[in-house]
Amino acid sequence: MKQIAVLDDYQGAARSFGPWEDLAGSAQVTYFDRHFAKPDDVVKALAPFEIVVAMRERTRFSREVLEQLGRLELLVTTGMGNAAIDMAAAAELGIVVAGTASVGPPTAELTWGLILGLARHIGEEDQALRAGAWQTTIGTDLAGATLGLVGFGRLGQRVAAVARAFEMNVVAWSTNLDPSVAEAAGVTPVEKSELFATSDIVSIHLVLSDRSRGIVGREEIEAMKPTALLVNTSRGPVVDKDALVAALHAGSIAGAALDVFDVEPLPEGDPLRKTPHTLLTPHLGYVTSDTYRVFYGEAVEDIVSYLAGSPVRVLQ
């Protein structure tokens, strides 16, 4: 009987959202509700398992880690891309890496929750009201403001559609932006420097890669208006955290809403926890019932197919 590990199940949700009963008699499933941050901890915890289900890019599967997981045959990641897996090492070691589909709308929806929460100080006003205060902040208008999208793929395009309903001007930039696609969506393609200098709200929608890591750096943040807001629901390392923290403490930008971080879960002593003018959420972009059904449902399908000798959704 194969041993299956399901990682980073913080909420105990995997059991109820996946059809694990389809594996009855052929596999035994263990759910881990805490994160293994250190490579040694990953190896120690996963040594007995032939199959691992990884949540997004939470756990790093480096060559060093994979080489020590001698029993590992199948590594399933939620989503069809995972920058935390050394794909070359997995291929050399004969480890099959499979993935699942993902759901686009939830992250775009959360992006707008963060934009509205930050622009209208919803979290601050909730706390102030409970403490006995009344109307302690002044909000930022969206109608007529400029939204700058860093990345204009599937998620960026969804965010742009909502921005138009709010009567915002929308500009976009990415290294491979097709101007005709942007213009067809009512979005103006601009250079990177212009986007950061002119946008009232900058929202990031990039896949993490060597090319995108740190792409929003000190120069870009310093170019932003002092009244501008930054929203990141993509991946933490896309933004230079030190530069962002410095700008927020100095008041050189008005605020930032972050759903993603360099290290997740966000460590207790991370400076972002005490940085002013921030709205922080614990990587909730994908945390919805529909997404979990897709993630865990297709993870089980991959495992069933693998055990039956049938094709799986292999990552390239």
Instruction: Point out the catalytic residue in the list 56, 235, 298, 301.
Output: 235
The Cα 116–Cα 120 span in angstroms is: 6
Instruction: Point out the catalytic residue in the list 56, 58, 205, 283.
Output: 283
Residue 213 bears catalytic tag = no
Cβ atoms 182, 188 nearer than 8 A: yes
Q: What is the DSSP letter of 202?
A: E
Burial class (CB in 10 A: 0-12, 13-18, 19+), 89: middle
Residue 264 bears catalytic tag = yes
Instruction: Note the Cα 173 to chain centre separation in Å.
Output: 19
* Rounded (to 5) percent helix, strand, coil in the chain: 40, 15, 45
Cβ atoms 93, 67 nearer than 8 A: yes
Nearest to 38 by CA among 29, 30, 46: 46
Nearest to 144 by CA among 199, 212, 83: 199
| Paired tokens of 294 | 């897709």
Instruction: Point out the catalytic residue in the list 264, 277, 293, 313.
Output: 264
Cβ atoms 232, 238 nearer than 8 A: yes
Dihedral sign from CA coordinates of 66, 72, 77, 81: positive
Nearest to 204 by CA among 245, 243, 148: 148
Instruction: Note the Cα 169 to chain centre separation in Å.
Output: 25
**Amino acid at the residue 306:** Y
Residue 57 bears catalytic tag = no
Cβ atoms 37, 52 nearer than 8 A: no
Residues noted as catalytic: 235, 264, 283
